[in-house]
Amino acid sequence: QVRLMERGGGSVQPGGSLRLSCATSGINFRIHDMAWYRQVPEKERELVASINSAGATDYVDSVKGRLTISRDNSRSTVYLQMDSLKPEDTARYFCHVENYRLSYWGQGTQVTVAS
C-alpha cells in the first residue's frame, strides 16, 4: 500500500521559512521521480517543484530561488525548503508520486503566509 505523509506546514510572516517533508512507504522510493504541488480553493492544483531519481530538479518560475526540493533516499522522504515566503505562497501543499502509472497523493499540509 502506497502512502505519502506530508508534515511541516504552518503559519509564517512574509519573508519567513518553512520546511515541508513527505515520508513515503510502499514504493521503491529511490527509483521514482517526486514532486510537490500546491492548491488554493477554487483553483487547479499547481506543480511547484520536482526531483527525479538522479536528483535533477525543476521549479515553477514563481518559486525559483526561494524554494528548494531535495530527497533522502535512505529515509524515503522528499523535502521542500521554503524561504523568503510570500503571501501568494499560501496554499495546501501536496507531494506526489506515480507508481505503475497510478498517481498517489498525500493528504497535504497547509502553508499560510500573512502579516
pLDDT per position as a tens digit, 53-107: 999 999 999 999 999 999 999 999 999 999 999 999 999 999 999 988 899 999 9
Q: How far apart are CA 44 and CA 110, in angstroms?
A: 16
pLDDT of res. 100: 87
Q: How far apart are CA 63 and CA 72, in angstroms?
A: 21
Q: How far apart are CA 31 and CA 37, in angstroms?
A: 20
Q: How far apart are CA 22 and CA 13, in angstroms?
A: 23
Q: How far apart are CA 91 and CA 48, in angstroms?
A: 11
Give the pLDDT confidence of 11-65 residue by residue, as tens digits. 999 999 999 999 999 999 999 999 999 999 999 999 999 999 999 999 999 999 9
H or E element that contains 96: strand 91-99
Residues in the chain: 115
3-class secondary structure, 30: helix
CA neighbours closer than 13 Å in the CB half-sphere of residue 63: 25
